[in-house]
Chain A
Amino acid sequence: MQLRISLISLGLLGLLLLLSIWPGRSLGNWNWGLLAATILTVALAGFFWQFERRRNSIVQLSFIATISSLAALSRVAFVPIAGLQPASFIIMISGYVFGSQTGFLVGAITALVSNFFLGQGPWTPWQMLAWGICGLLAGCLGQALSAFRLLPFVFLCTFSAFLFGWITNISYWSSFVHPLNWSSYLGSCIASFPFDLIHAAGNLAFSLLFGTHFYQLLFRFQRKMSGYSK
């Protein structure tokens, strides 16, 4: 269900972006900044609503809080190196082991909590969505593979760094740039490329260094969690 919601949200975002650059641009005068922000809010609210509806054990709840806090701490610790985000790796390994919904929630909460310390901004909801999607994709990969495979995980982790940049770029591109077309969006992606590259290199290094070990730790913890009934 949560995967369906995310795909619908992403599809809607993509459709709106396509409509905005369609020849003739009948919808070119729409306020895309406001529209994108509205869709983003609805998408995030949809995920959180799903989480509220689902029966979660206390251990799951405390795990999500704990891992989000650790990811937020890692982000704050590495803030002097612009672009380096160990939080991405922690979010994705959690999503890989515990599934898409947990991955999304850990990603979204990490962005929000770390910004309580770094400062909130118009970028916060976009970071919540971007990291949420990274966690969700890792969850999908975890479901698709029967056992842990480092290489696909490393590849996804590295690619997700660019995906994170591409999603967060929409925040200022849709609100402050004219015209909204592929060229200007590509321009915004080129501008963020150095930071995305550092992010990707960091994700590659963290997943190679800690991937297998963290997976084992989390997998053991998951088995331990299953012993708790509530």
Chain B
Amino acid sequence: MNETMLSYRVKDNLIHSLHPLTTLSYVLVITILSLIFYHPIYLAALLLPAALVIVSSGHYKEWSIYLKLSVSLIILIAVLNMVFSREGETILFTLQLLPGMAPLDLSLEALAFAAGMGLRLLVIITAFCLYSQAIDPDRILRAVAGLGKGKTVLAIILATRLFPQFLRDYRRIMEISQCRGVDPYHGNLWQRTGRLKPVISVLFSSSLEQALELAESMYARGYGSGERSQRQADLWHPRDFLILLALIIAFFCGILAYGQGWTAFNYYPRLSWEFSGSSILTLMTLSLAIPSVLNWGCKRSNSFLSKI
């Protein structure tokens, strides 16, 4: 596969050497906890270790792109909350959007809720950025290939593998078309569409032919002739178990804090808040920061990675 096309990039660090299911578990724990937390301090306590893991794994640049993209969504969330929420008691200002329409009260509570949800979005975006950048699609698909008969996973793997090939085919067909004097890049929109139509048709029909060839090739290699054999490509290391243990601790800390009501935050009708469970919060944050600490240790000592 042409790796430059995937959003995943290979990097030489501990985060990338983890078992894909370990990294996936990390992403899931962060996402689930962020969905049950409303308190901004608790949400920030999830964002901080996740950001540390991203930065320590060398994906700051990609993360910043994700953050820039999420700004528009945060603005949308803020607008929707401020426009449609009528429960806030502290009115900041009143807007008369259109004459004849009821005035719109914009409350401090709605603004605070929007800020809190913006923070939640940042946590989730950060977690998924880690998923995109640090988990090799091939490795994660291989890791879950054992589920069921593996047909779904096989279809996904094949589709991912065929993608660069079809792109090459498209370029080849375009070149041939241009050599014949039909250039789909020139002319007005209608002309370009007319010239592009045969290119797309050829690509489509040749791809279908390739699907048949692929099926024949799979049949010749014995696919479907018996029970599927499976190769365990990714090994579990002590570092995986260490991080999984830390994730279990973090998850239970989060659930405990949620059960005690510490993660709740009174946005409506009047903004009021209190903060409890600092020791649980600290334990959760530290547990979630374990991967970045281990990664830092690997950067400091070359032999550390081989030991864990």
Residues of A within 8 A of B (CB): 31, 33-34, 37, 48-49, 51-53, 56-59, 61-70, 72-73, 105, 109-110, 112-113, 115-122, 124, 172-173, 175-179, 181, 183-184, 187-188, 191, 209-210, 213-214, 217-218, 221, 224-225, 228, 230
* Contact indicator per residue, chain B 71-100, by CB within 8 Å of chain A (1) or not (0): 001001101110111010000000000000
Which residue in A110, A118, A217 is a CB contact (below 8 Å) of B205? Answer: A217
Whether A73 lies near B163 (C-beta < 8 A) is: yes
Residues 205 to 258 of chain B near chain A (Cβ within 8 Å):
205, 207-208, 210-212, 214-215, 218-219, 223-224
Which residue in B155, B207, B223 is a CB contact (below 8 Å) of A70? Answer: B207
Cβ of B26 within 8 Å of any chain A Cβ, yes or no, is no
Chain B interface residue bracket vs A: 35 or more
Besides the known contacts A69-B207, A117-B5, A230-B224, 19 further A-B residue pairs in the complex with CB atoms under 8 A apart: A51-B152, A52-B147, A61-B151, A62-B214, A63-B211, A63-B215, A65-B158, A65-B214, A66-B214, A73-B166, A116-B160, A120-B132, A121-B125, A173-B80, A178-B85, A179-B85, A188-B76, A221-B208, A230-B219
Taken together as a complex, chains A and B put the C-alpha atoms of A52 and B147 apart, in Å, by 9
Whether A209 lies near B215 (C-beta < 8 A) is: no
Whether B36 lies near A31 (C-beta < 8 A) is: yes
Closest to A205 in B: B193
Min CB distance B293 to A, Å, is: 26
Taken together as a complex, chains A and B put the C-alpha atoms of A209 and B199 apart, in Å, by 13
Whether B132 lies near A119 (C-beta < 8 A) is: yes
User: Cβ of B152: which chain A residues have Cβ within 8 Å of it?
Assistant: 48, 51-52, 105, 109
Q: Name, among A31, A61, A110, A224, the residue most crowded by chain B CB atoms within 10 Å (CB to CB).
A: A61
Cβ of B121 within 8 Å of any chain A Cβ, yes or no, is yes
Cβ of B32 within 8 Å of any chain A Cβ, yes or no, is yes
Min CB distance B165 to A, Å, is: 8
Whether A112 lies near B156 (C-beta < 8 A) is: yes
User: Cβ of A184: which chain B residues have Cβ within 8 Å of it?
Assistant: 80, 84
Whether B137 lies near A61 (C-beta < 8 A) is: no
* Contact indicator per residue, chain B 132-175, by CB within 8 Å of chain A (1) or not (0): 10000100000000011111101110111011001100100000
Closest to B211 in A: A66
Taken together as a complex, chains A and B put the C-alpha atoms of A184 and B208 apart, in Å, by 44
Given the known inter-chain contacts A52-B148, A177-B77, please indicate yes or no for A73 contacting B167, CB distance below 8 A. yes
Taken together as a complex, chains A and B put the C-alpha atoms of A127 and B203 apart, in Å, by 25
Whether B215 lies near A187 (C-beta < 8 A) is: no
Which residue in A63, A109, A116, A213 is a CB contact (below 8 Å) of B137? Answer: A116
Closest to A190 in B: B80
User: Cβ of B266: which chain A residues have Cβ within 8 Å of it?
Assistant: none
Q: Name, among B81, B203, B211, B219, the residue most crowded by chain A CB atoms within 10 Å (CB to CB).
A: B211
What are the nearest 8 A-B pairs in CB distance? A52-B148, A65-B158, A66-B211, A69-B162, A176-B117, A184-B84, A62-B215, A69-B159
Taken together as a complex, chains A and B put the C-alpha atoms of A1 and B208 apart, in Å, by 28
User: Cβ of B218: which chain A residues have Cβ within 8 Å of it?
Assistant: 58, 61-62
Taken together as a complex, chains A and B put the C-alpha atoms of A101 and B191 apart, in Å, by 37
Which residue in A56, A61, A70 is a CB contact (below 8 Å) of B204? Answer: A70
Whether B117 lies near A65 (C-beta < 8 A) is: no
User: Cβ of B76: which chain A residues have Cβ within 8 Å of it?
Assistant: 172, 188, 191
Given the known inter-chain contacts A31-B36, A52-B149, please indicate yes or no for A177 contacting B117, CB distance below 8 A. yes
Whether A66 lies near B267 (C-beta < 8 A) is: no
User: Cβ of B219: which chain A residues have Cβ within 8 Å of it?
Assistant: 58, 230
Taken together as a complex, chains A and B put the C-alpha atoms of A24 and B111 apart, in Å, by 25
User: Cβ of A115: which chain B residues have Cβ within 8 Å of it?
Assistant: 132
User: Cβ of A72: which chain B residues have Cβ within 8 Å of it?
Assistant: 159, 163
Whether B81 lies near A118 (C-beta < 8 A) is: no
Taken together as a complex, chains A and B put the C-alpha atoms of A115 and B214 apart, in Å, by 24
Which residue in B118, B132, B159, B210 is a CB contact (below 8 Å) of A113? Answer: B159
Min CB distance A186 to B, Å, is: 9
Which residue in B35, B211, B214 is a CB contact (below 8 Å) of A37? Answer: B35
Min CB distance B166 to A, Å, is: 5
Whether A121 lies near B128 (C-beta < 8 A) is: yes
Cβ of B262 within 8 Å of any chain A Cβ, yes or no, is no
Q: Name, among B6, B32, B149, B156, the residue most crowded by chain A CB atoms within 10 Å (CB to CB).
A: B156
Which residue in B125, B167, B211 is a CB contact (below 8 Å) of A122? Answer: B125
Cβ of B308 within 8 Å of any chain A Cβ, yes or no, is no
Cβ of B66 within 8 Å of any chain A Cβ, yes or no, is yes
Min CB distance B245 to A, Å, is: 24
